[in-house]
Amino acid sequence: MVRVLLPAMLRPLAGGEGTLDIDAPTLDAVLDSIGAGFPALERRLRDETGALRRYVNFYVDGEECRRLDGAKTSLAEAKEVQIIPSVAGG
């Protein structure tokens, strides 16, 4: 079981939840599970091809997933996935 932490800006797309506990072997499987329950949230996290959106960062136990195996990152030993969308402004 991995705990997925959602920032305040994404919580309305997850029924107001700040955390989701999901049993999944990889980050991709976590996102599949999110998509099954919250399709609008998944569209903010993955593009039309299923790839991770460029401006959304996914941390697995504090390590950015793109430095690991990207969406295929194993969660066998993981405790936490944190999702952080980039915020731009000027």
Q: What is the pLDDT of residue 87?
A: 78
- Give the pLDDT of residue 90: 60
Q: How many domains does the chain have?
A: 1
- Which parts of the chain sit beneath pLDDT 50? none
Specify the pLDDT at position 86: 87
Nearest to 38 by CA among 14, 3, 9: 14
pLDDT at residue number 89? 63
DSSP summary character for residue 70: G
* Inside any domain, residue 90: no
Query: CB-based contacts of 58: which residues, under 8 Å, 6+ apart?
Result: 27, 52, 64, 65, 66, 81, 82, 83, 84
Cβ distance 6 to 17 under 8 Å?
yes
Q: Which domain holds residue 20?
A: 2-85
User: Where residue 21 sits, what CATH number does that domain have?
Assistant: 3.10.20.30
Tokens of 66: 């793109």
**Residue 25 CB neighbours (<10 A):** 14
The pTM is what? Answer: 0.91
